[in-house]
């Protein structure tokens, strides 16, 4: 009535034997009959513990090179029978099916095999059939059976059977069943996603088992979690734990700096997912100083990222600023000691790994999925639409501004000069407002906009933006083009000696 079950038998068939020995010894000490197969059977025998081969139960050998071992009614009947069902009891007695109370199984390492670049044949052979079937059967029948489907659960299971002297509660078995279905669903998702690389079947399968509870979400009254493997992309050298907002800003910083990965020393400072300072210079120290000059007010509490090693001289400058996170591909020993001077400052080493190529976000009662904007505007993409042509230096500034613009919230305008972000207008409801915000901000930090470049994430529906830019001293413009009134903007530029190029690519970022 209370759901307590005493285990008399266990089926153990695992790929990895790590951590299995203490469980086998405990089950043996409890008088539990152990059934097993292949390598696991040998492992148990080598411990000097008695084990019944599954072949003795099924009267059938392992066949097809081990592809079929446990797929037999005497195995699955022993797992799936309902111990409170008279019909089931009669049938297992009639067919001499042994009762199985515990199933300990893991799965072939499919994801690891794929990640290791194995051949398709090797990958296919790592699609588990018997194991996944045993897991599903045992988890389904949790009222009577305990299912342990991962080495990660060995410690908990050992504690349960030790404290319970071989007994388990219904609540405990249901918990293990829940974990087992998490294992099976994740495994099937990984297999589907591998096959669907070439098929493009419109189905979304997202499964992440690495969960990190955050202090809170965007605000203290919201719960927050990160699902993923941060250690795959960063080595965390110092500081407090990353928060929900930190992670959003770090993501924005990494994606922005990806545009400058192979460029000369470049430093960026971000706040609320937008760049407030970016500069490319001959040294990383110069890049930092000029990035900070872009908006020293917003830089307070910001996220800093560099595309080159941070040296002692740069660290000394950075240390003067209160900042949440510093990211770089490496640090000199002296720089690291300086930056560690602030206890809570998070210091990350970014590893060179490939990032996902799609974006996923919740929307209404579903999700939106899209390809990432992986298009970076290059010189060969540009169409000269005005009589006045930009110089080589001006072209460099236009492309520099375009890279930043692509990673700034729409509607946006970015102003740059000499490979330095002068200001940007971010997240405005009109492009004119974005431009006015950018000009006002640049002026407030005493930037000389004469000869500056302007980038827009989308086309100008009217010539008002180029006119406002012209009056502020801006002389070159980069934009996608595509408005039915493009000619009006082109005409204004021609009449006032501005140079404008079209990219043909819009870079909205909502």
From start to end of 72-131, where are the E strands?
A: 102-105
What's 454-505 look like in SS3?
Answer: EEECCCCCCCHHHHHHHHCCCCEEEECCCCCCHHHHHHHHHHCCCEEEECCC
Closest CA to 293 of 310, 274, 317: 317
From the list 272, 312, 319, 375, the catalytic residue is 272
Beta-strand relationship, 413-416 and 421-425: antiparallel
- CA triple 433-436-441, angle to 5 deg: 125
DSSP state of 445: T
Tokens of residue 479, six digits: 């934009």
- C-alpha distances in Å from residue 482, one per residue of 156, 178, 407: 61, 53, 21
Residue with tokens 């111990």: 83
- Backbone phi, then psi, for 31, in 5-degree steps? 80, 20
Secondary structure element (H or E) that encloses residue 348, with its range: strand 346-350
Query: Residue 210: how many CB atoms within 10 A of its CB?
Result: 11
**Cis-peptide, bond into residue 372, ω within 30° of zero:** no
From the list 8, 25, 126, 140, the catalytic residue is 140
Closest CA to 462 of 439, 492, 442, 438: 492
Cα separation, 21 vs 50, whole angstroms? 13
Does residue 272 have an active-site annotation? Answer: yes
Q: Going by C-beta distance under 8 Å and a sequence separation of 6 or more, which residues neighbour residue 277?
A: 267, 268, 269, 290, 291, 292, 293, 294, 295, 298, 299, 421
Active-site residue set: 140, 272
């Amino acid at each position: 009535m209370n759901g307590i079950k005493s285990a008399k038998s266990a089926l153990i068939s695992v790929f990895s034997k790590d951590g299995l020995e203490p469980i086998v010894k405990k089950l043996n000490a409890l008088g539990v009959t152990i059934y097993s197969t292949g390598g696991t059977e040998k492992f148990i025998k080598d411990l000097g513990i008695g084990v019944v081969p599954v072949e003795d139960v099924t009267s059938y050998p392992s066949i097809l090179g081990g592809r079929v071992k446990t797929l037999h009614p005497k195995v699955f009947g022993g797992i799936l029978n309902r111990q409170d069902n008279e019909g089931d009891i009669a049938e297992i007695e009639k067919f001499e099916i042994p009762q199985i109370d515990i199933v300990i199984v893991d799965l072939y390492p499919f994801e690891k095999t794929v990640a290791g670049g194995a051949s398709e044949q090797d990958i296919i052979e790592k699609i588990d059939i018997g194991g996944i079937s045993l897991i599903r059967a045992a988890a389904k029948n949790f009222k009577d059976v305990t299912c342990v489907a991962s080495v990660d659960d060995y410690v908990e299971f050992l504690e349960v059977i030790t404290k319970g002297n071989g007994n388990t509660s219904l609540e405990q078995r249901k918990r293990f069943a829940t974990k087992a279905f998490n294992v099976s669903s994740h495994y099937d998702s990984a297999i589907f996603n591998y096959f669907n690389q070439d098929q493009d079947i419109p189905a979304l399968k997202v499964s992440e088992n690495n969960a990190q509870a955050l202090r809170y979400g965007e605000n203290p009254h919201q719960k927050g979690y990160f699902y993923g493997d941060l250690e795959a992309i960063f080595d965390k050298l110092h500081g407090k734990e990353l928060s929900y907002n930190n992670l959003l800003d770090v993501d924005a910083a990494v994606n922005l700096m990806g545009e400058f990965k192979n460029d000369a020393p470049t430093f960026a400072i971000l706040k609320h997912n937008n760049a407030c300072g970016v500069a490319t210079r001959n040294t990383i120290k110069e890049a930092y100083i000029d990035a900070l000059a872009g908006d020293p007010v917003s830089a307070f509490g910001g996220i800093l990222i560099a595309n080159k090693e941070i040296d002692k001289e740069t660290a000394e400058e950075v240390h003067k600023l209160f900042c949440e996170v510093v990211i770089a591909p490496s640090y000199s020993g002296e720089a690291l000691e300086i930056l560690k001077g602030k206890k809570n400052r998070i210091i990350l080493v970014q590893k060179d790994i490939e990032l996902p190529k799609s974006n996923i976000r919740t929307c209404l009662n579903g999700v939106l999925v899209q390809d990432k904007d992986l298009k970076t505007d290059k010189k060969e993409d540009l169409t000269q639409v005005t009589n006045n042509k930009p110089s080589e230096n001006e072209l460099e500034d236009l492309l520099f501004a375009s890279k930043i613009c692509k990673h700034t919230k729409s509607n946006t305008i970015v102003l740059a000069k000499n490979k330095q972000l002068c200001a940007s207008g971010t997240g405005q409801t009109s492009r004119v407002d974005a431009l006015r915000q950018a000009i006002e901000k640049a002026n407030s930090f005493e930037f000389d906009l004469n000869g500056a470049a302007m980038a827009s994430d989308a086309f100008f529906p009217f010539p008002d933006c180029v006119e406002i830019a012209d009056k502020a001293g801006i002389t070159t413009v980069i934009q996608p083009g595509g408005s039915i009134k493009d000619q009006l903007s082109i005409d204004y530029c021609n009449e006032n000696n501005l140079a404008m190029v079209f990219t043909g690519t819009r870079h909205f970022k909502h």
